Amino acid sequence: MNSTSSFQNTSATGAVRRANAETFAPMSARRLLALGGIGLILVGMLVGDIFAVFVLHQNAAKVGESLSVAAHAAVAGDANAVVGSVQSVGSFLENRGTKVDTHVHMIAFGYLALMLAIVQPWVALRENTKKEVAWIFLFGAWLLPVGVFLIHYVGLAHSPLEAIGWASIFADLGGLLVILATLGCLLGIARRFRQSQRPALDDVLLKDRSAAGRILLAGGLILVLLGLFHGAYYAAADLYRHEVLDYSLLSKMSIAATAKNAGVVDTALGEYGQLAGEKAVNIAAHAHAIEFGLLAMLLAFLQPYVRLRESWKRNWAWLLLLGSLVLPVFVLLELRLGLLAGGIADVGGGLVILALFAMWIGIVRYTGEIDAGYVSMGARG
């Protein structure tokens, strides 16, 4: 009896190990999603950093200049110049908006890919189907941001539609593929719930309690909370005031232009630029604190697959959290300290990218020792 039970236990353990061994094998769905997800986040962050350094401030200055030209053309009574300048404002805003959207969607899809990687054992689909779903997800997750990035350059050229160009159409197709792949995973999870005799999961990612994982999880949760508190404070104290101010400053410009009062127009333009800066830094600080917190929490679960020495894993975890705190704090301080704070915020972003890249290398180096049931003996930092 005992030997039978022991044999059954051994078989069951073997089955679980075999099941687990499949979960992070090369080109498996989980590995594709984990590496693809971190890759998306890394590229999205690099795009964001390049955008912040080379485009954001220059673009904001051009928007301000064009608005100023429009307002002064109104003072001078030149309606044609007004229309041309407002169109320039629209073009600069579209340039800015599509680049922000590229950055945001790449990172968001990267997070979703990491999450889907972690929940893969709960997705009751054949491994081949899971792989196909993962490829569809990753294809869509790249197609959407690339399409969005090209919107500004492709415009409405050769488009069959009146307001939407080819780049937008491909971006929307990318979004549809991501939706379908996510829906596929959700159906797989629902299918597992319906199975009456589902085997218990023995997933090493969920059991891990390493120091690096705990640091990332607790630090990430605190960052998310700080971001939510800041967002709530901003919404309560400034959001509606800023909206009223946006309208009233434009109204002031328009009335002053009608009365040919260039001095008042200039004052209102200055205040409008200040307001735009205030809104931008508050929203950026809120969004980045929450996004970096989520990233830290996701990476906490993937630590068993990061093949680096424990001390190095802890160092990279702390570095990621440090960068994640520095960026939003110094983005907020930009209004007081100017470009110095902006530079420090960029360094914070760089620290996050560096730590994330190190973890990505660690995951690429992972050769399957945990899945195979061996204790890692040869991991090097």
Furthest CA-CA distance within the chain: 99
Report the residue number, 31 or 105, with the smaller CB distance to another protein: 105
- Cβ count within 10 A of residue 131: 18
Token pair for residue 320?
């990621």
Nearest-approach distance from CB 186 to another protein, in angstroms: 5
Between 119 and 333, CB nearer to another protein: 119
The rounded distance, in Å, linking the Cα atoms of 366 and 226 is 34
Q: Pick the closer one to another protein by CB: 256 or 308.
A: 256
Helix then strand count (H, E) for the chain reads 13, 0
Separation CA 265–CA 75 (nearest Å): 8
H-helix or E-strand containing 31?
Answer: helix 29-51
Residue closer to another protein by CB (options 4, 196) is 196
Nearest distance, CB of residue 93 and another protein, angstroms: 8
Q: Rank residues 224 and 353 by Cβ distance to another protein and give the closer one.
A: 224
Least CB distance to another protein at residue 301 (A): 6
Shortest gap between Cβ of 131 and another protein (angstroms)? Answer: 19
Nearer to another protein (CB atom), residue 16 or residue 221? 221
Element (H, E) at 37: helix 29-51
Alpha carbon distance 214, 363 (integer Å) = 18
Smallest gap, in angstroms, from Cβ of residue 362 to another protein? Answer: 20
State in angstroms the smallest separation of the CB of 331 from another protein: 17
CA dihedral defined by 296, 302, 306, 309, rounded to 10 degrees? 70
Q: Which amino acid is at 159?
A: S
Nearer to another protein, 35 or 290 (CB): 290
Give the nearest distance from C-beta 82 to another protein in angstroms.
4
Q: Which residues of 139-155 are buried (b: 16+ CB within 10 A; e: fewer)?
A: bbbbbbbebbbbbbebe
In the chain, the amino acid numbered 204 is: V
Tokens of residue 303, six digits: 């630590």
